Structure 1
Amino acid sequence: MPTPPRRLVRRRSVLAGIGAAFGGVAGCVGTSGGSGGTGTVSMLAAGSLNNALENGLRPAVDARLRVESHGSAQVARLVAEGQKDPDIVSLADVALFDGPLDPEWYAEFATNAIVVAYNPETEGGRRVADAGRDGWYRPIVSGEVDLGRTDPDLDPLGYRTLFALELATDYYGTERDLRTAIPERDQIYPETQLISQFETGSIDAAIAYRSMAVERDYDYLDLPAEIDLSDPAFAESYATSTYELPSGKVIEGGPISYGSTIRHDEPSVRDVFEAHVAGDYLPAYGFDRPDDHPRYSGDVPSEIAG
């Protein structure tokens, strides 16, 4: 049952330099051979990581860093099909390391949460804010809010949005299935451009990662842990939601977990990787880093896990 009605809204400080970094892809990762030996370390990463990598990781490493960002499902597909060959791959869902990618090892390094971000300058955004944590879906279902989301075929945020809507249906006991009642095709935007649609006036609210709202200093509603995919204690209930990617791979719902692996192991790549998965820059960009992270899976080289 829902908790007693209450409104939980947070606003975070503006982070310097984010506009340019979050506007889209930064750099271009080559199609073969990585970038070993060129003095440049290439990363192909989840779109939701782009700002943290550009403004948090880049200043913390000595190597010249080239970052390209897309939705994680797209990233995994580009690498699996040989269209991209970066030194480091970082995804927003470690499930994608079990197909289409199949690395020998990877490190889980951060977590996140699903939130409802909104624009308080628009009528639709104010409706979401007024409805609060226990009623945010009502003005969206009634068509009073222009909502933004991402493509579930391209990135985990897209299918996690569907998971959250399905879980919200059960949590709030709604008459309508929110997973079928809310999504419309014209709501979809690229992950790296989703929150910036507030600035163009295209949307009033967005289902997004908390980190995305934090880094752009937008108001947002925290959702109950039963819905927001942040709490391992609810892993079993999260797993009741699934989504089938175009490849046929079926993704189960679960706690949000970011993972990374090295494809071309060189000292400069290793240095960047260590700063990436163990650095202290992530919390400033809205990510959580549990005490037991980075957490390694697979046949991890001793010089990395050691």
Structure 2
Amino acid sequence: MSRDARGASSRRAFLASVGGTAAAGLTATAGCLGRGGSTPTVSVLAAGSLQRALTTEFEAPEGTRFEVEAHGSARVARMVADGQRDPDIVALADPTLFDAPLSVPWYATFANNALVVAYNPQTDGGTRVAEAASWPDALLDDAVSLGRTDPDLDPLGYRTRFALALAADYYDRPALADDLLRRDQIYPETQLLAQFDAGGVDAAFVYRSMAVERGYPSLELPAAIDLSDPEHASAYETASYTLPDGVTVRGGPIRYAATRRTDTAAAKSVFEALVGTAGDFLEPSGFTVRESHPHYFGDVPPTA
């Protein structure tokens, strides 16, 4: 199947093809162990925003176990491209990273998300956000500490920049993005919401799923800004960011995608469960999984 052909397969077909399951564990290693520890282990290198769902909600096929390591997706892609990691499966928050810095022959998209502004109702700054007439005014308040992630390490970071650029046009406030980007509370994706728990951040741009998983209230952004709506794709594409390695990424509806890099039976089984049952373990965490998922792109092997 060629990349131009862009074949698609229904979710229900994959649900039917995946066998029995065993609950994933709470640690970086999940799945079930066979006698004598002989059960094959599948390594998954994943986007930080997938970490909690993969380690607490994902059900691996019976007779398999998997290990999850999570970082920002841009960092994940560089780690694999530079040979620092050699995982069986790579799952990213932006499929464009599979083209560069990675160059994989195929991948499957399996979920979507949206940007929101999460706030901590236990802090004075968070209360200001909750009570403000508009989120731009709330975040521009010097009494509100605003967190975001590093755009050089993960898509959430550069998508925050995209959303702010779109918001500047949407609200006709040309200085909005520059004013908010001057805030220097920048954290790795896997640590950002931990700052809420410590009271170090009053508000942050996060994926809706991250707010849902942590139980933080959030402000919904207009569809023209939150990068969730395919109908606004052409407007989203007007925003761009160039990563340190020279790769330029553009705005678009948020999509998650995965590829399988090894052909073992265990890797195939875990991959099929990951992309085929995404709705079961991701939707309760605030992700969106459309009926068209999983959707395959590229030269897909017959036994993908």
Q: In the aligned structure 2, how far is the partner of 1:60 from the partner of 1:217?
A: 29
Q: Which residue of 1 aligns with 2:250?
A: 252
Residues 209-238 of structure 1 deviation map (CA, whole Å, 9 limit, x = unaligned): 000000111100111100000000000000
Q: Which residue of 1 aligns with 2:289?
A: 289
Alpha-carbon distance change, 55 to 235 in structure 1, aligned in 2, over 3 angstroms: same
Q: Which residue of 1 aligns with 2:169?
A: 170
Percent identical: 57
TM-score (norm. length: structure 2)? 0.85
Q: Which residue of 2 aligns with 1:301?
A: 301
TM-score (norm. length: structure 1)? 0.85
Q: In the aligned structure 2, how far is the partner of 1:117 from the partner of 1:61?
A: 37
1:180 aligned partner, one-letter code: D
CA RMSD of aligned residues (A): 1.6
2:284 aligned partner, one-letter code: A
1:165 aligned partner, one-letter code: L
Tell me how far 1:158 sits from its aligned partner: 0.1
Q: Secondary structure at the match of 2:300?
A: coil
Tell me how far 1:72 sits from its aligned partner: 0.2
Alpha-carbon distance change, 137 to 106 in structure 1, aligned in 2, over 3 angstroms: same
**Structure 1 residue runs of 4+, over 3 Å off?**
58-62
1:186 aligned partner, one-letter code: D
Q: Which residue of 2 aligns with 1:150?
A: 149
Alpha-carbon distance change, 39 to 234 in structure 1, aligned in 2, over 3 angstroms: same
Structure 2: tracts of 5 or more residues without a match: 1-25, 30-37
Q: In the aligned structure 2, how far is the partner of 1:177 from the partner of 1:239?
A: 20
Alpha-carbon distance change, 40 to 129 in structure 1, aligned in 2, over 3 angstroms: same
Q: In the aligned structure 2, how far is the partner of 1:139 from the partner of 1:156?
A: 24
Alpha-carbon distance change, 61 to 238 in structure 1, aligned in 2, over 3 angstroms: farther
**Is the counterpart of residue 270 in structure 1 residue 271 in structure 2?**
no
| Residue range with higher mean Cα deviation, 266-275 or 123-132 | 123-132
Q: Which residue of 2 aligns with 1:120?
A: 121
Counting matched residue pairs gives 269
Q: In the aligned structure 2, how far is the partner of 1:76 from the partner of 1:102?
A: 10
Q: Secondary structure at the match of 2:181?
A: coil
Q: Secondary structure at the match of 1:138?
A: helix
Alpha-carbon distance change, 265 to 60 in structure 1, aligned in 2, over 3 angstroms: closer
Tell me how far 1:57 sits from its aligned partner: 1.4
- 1:26-105 paired onto structure 2 within 5 Å: 26=28, 39-58=40-59, 62-105=63-106
Tell me how far 1:121 sits from its aligned partner: 1.1
Structure 1: tracts of 5 or more residues without a match: 1-19, 28-36
Q: In the aligned structure 1, how far is the partner of 2:98 from the partner of 2:81?
A: 10
